[in-house]
A = this chain, B = another copy of it.
Amino acid sequence: MPHTIAEIAQALGLRAEGALDLAITHAAEPAQAGRDALAMAMDPKYAAGLAQGQAQAAILWDGADWQALGLKAAVFAPRPRWAMAGISELLDPGYDFGAGIHPQSFIHPSARVADGACIGPFTSIGARAVIGPNARIAPNVTVAEDVVIGADVILHAGARIGARVRIGDRFIGQPNCVVGGCGFSFVTPEPSGAEDVRASLSGERQVRAQKWHRIQSLGAVRIGDDVELGANSSIDRGTIRDTVIGSGTKIDSVCQIGHNVQMGEDCMMCGMAGVAGSARIGNRVLLAGKVAVNDNIFVGDDAIVGGASRVFTNVPAGRAVLGDPATKLETQLEIRKIIRRLPRLVANVAKLQDAVFGPDRKG
């Protein structure tokens, strides 16, 4: 669907110049943009790309000289990523969830699906499940018994929502995500080797036979509003209480959240990050890609955990941490610098030993 530059500028609340009635049909990278495209060129580094492509209109960085760039019209974006949110929303083709409830789906007679739902083939809705208005549910999805989901949910293909899970409004479940697998909680009749090591912090312990008995998950998962869960990511149910994910929290693909975790609001958890059982994560916490958070610790509000860090101890509110094991960001950056220079340090110590003890007395 074509949009004029004027429409786009108005929708995004941005300033535009030039041929405001020029119409574009889609967005494109500057170098690949054809004459019908709106080129995404929000940084001076894209100027060369604009020259390669054929765009007549672009979203530009603040202060760009659109006429010198050979354009007929331009929209100016002082905060590029924010403009990207607006323009991608405007131009999003969306997904096709079919019309209504597909005859090859299964909806348990006791389930209640509110008006406006699209439900794809081979999707199963369990007993007593309740799904709010305007649900868009892809093919091959499973919603188990006694699940409660709010309005405007999107469940992509292969999403699994386990028994008794409760989810707020506007949840987006990416393909093959899982909410409500059982918690990974086992116990041996006698203390296990791992318990010995945790207690002693040494490798010394008695080796003995151990059979694992299952602790059942009596809790489920409770998710707030505006949460998103990535492809092939998993949130386990709680043991006694529910595992909780606060409103506004976004979770990327191939992530794992263990049983009993309490995660706050507006967090961001990037790809392949994991939070182990019973950890507590505050509000607005950022866990970067591949991060690991140990079980039973807490990460305070507004903490930022850098890429691939392993967090073994509590992180105070507001702190940025990095590394394995994670430390304060500044400390870790200093440590990394020293480690890179260790060969020089070793050489310097050897020189000192030569000077102080003579070549024969290094040891």
Residues of A with Cβ closer than 8 Å to B? Answer: 26-29, 32, 40, 79, 81-82, 84-85, 88-89, 91-93, 95-96, 102, 104, 106, 120-122, 124, 126-127, 138-142, 144-145, 156-158, 160, 162-164, 172, 174-176, 178, 180-182, 184-189, 191-194, 197, 201-203, 205, 207, 209-218, 228, 230-234, 236, 239-241, 248, 250, 252-256, 258, 266, 268, 270-272, 274, 276, 284, 286, 288-290, 292, 294-295, 301-302, 304, 306-308, 310, 312, 317-321, 324-325, 327-331, 333-336, 338-340, 342-343, 345-346, 348-349, 352-353, 355-357, 362
Nearest B residue to A82, CB-CB: B187
In the complex, the answer to whether B250 meets A272 with C-beta atoms within 8 Å is no
Judge whether A158 and B142 touch: CB under 8 Å. yes
In this complex, the member of A182, A186, A234, A335 whose beta carbon has the largest number of chain B beta carbons within 10 angstroms is A234
Task: Enumerate the 5 nearest inter-chain pairs by beta-carbon distance, A residue then B residue, closest first.
Answer: A181-B231, A142-B157, A203-B320, A88-B216, A124-B139
Residues on the B chain within 8 Å of A270, using CB: 184, 276
Evaluate contact between B342 and A335: CB separation under 8 angstroms: yes
CB <8 Å contact, B178 and A248: no
Q: Which residues of chain B are within 8 angstroms of A93 by Cβ–Cβ distance? A: 164, 218
- The reply to whether A256 and B256 form a contact with Cβ atoms under 8 Å apart is no
Whether the pair A294, B310 counts as a contact (CB closer than 8 A) is no
Docked-complex contact A231 and B239, CB < 8 angstroms:
no
